[in-house]
Amino acid sequence: MYSNILVPVVFEHEPSVEQALAVAKELCAEGGKITLLHVVEEIPSYAATMIPKEVWANSVKSAQVDIKAYASKYHKSAHTDVIKGHSSRAILDYGEEHNCDCVVIASHKPGLEDYFLGSTAARVVRHAKCAVHILR
């Protein structure tokens, strides 16, 4: 059983979020903590200058509202957080900084581009310093 589980959330894949939370609940020790995390991808600097700052701030606020809605729908006692960064690196860094002992992450069926670049889940598995459970 794990005491501090991280569940990365992608809003476009709600069924996988529900499934990941179900697995996290099963793996969580009594009194353990489950954190839902959404990573807002960084905008490349060459494009960031063309986008108004309000757009960026609104996307973060929207993500915070959405992730709290997921928590209230699927696991009311789950903690939530929204951070900025590159998804795989941000998940790994967050897990280390918050002493997570398990990551439960959903993965899509890999396409050709994933064999060359690697999906977020594959990068997390390769570099995590804790247990990782991948759902397909």
Q: What is the pLDDT of residues 15-60, one digit of tens each?
A: 888 899 999 999 999 999 999 999 998 877 777 778 887 887 888 8
Q: Domain range for residue 37?
A: 2-135
How far is CA 2 from its chain centroid?
17
**Strand stretches in 72-112, DSSP E:** 79-85, 102-106
Q: Is the pTM of this model over 0.85?
A: yes
Residue identified by tokens 């997921």 is 70
Which pLDDT band, with edges at 50, 70 and 90, does 63 fall under? very high
Longest dimension (CA), the chain: 48
Q: In total, how many domains does the chain have?
A: 1
For residues 46 and 66, give the distance between their C-alpha atoms in angstroms, rounded to a whole number: 28
Structure tokens at 34: 């489950």
Domain containing residue 110: CATH number: 3.40.50.620
Q: Which helix (H) or strand (E) holds 131?
A: strand 131-135
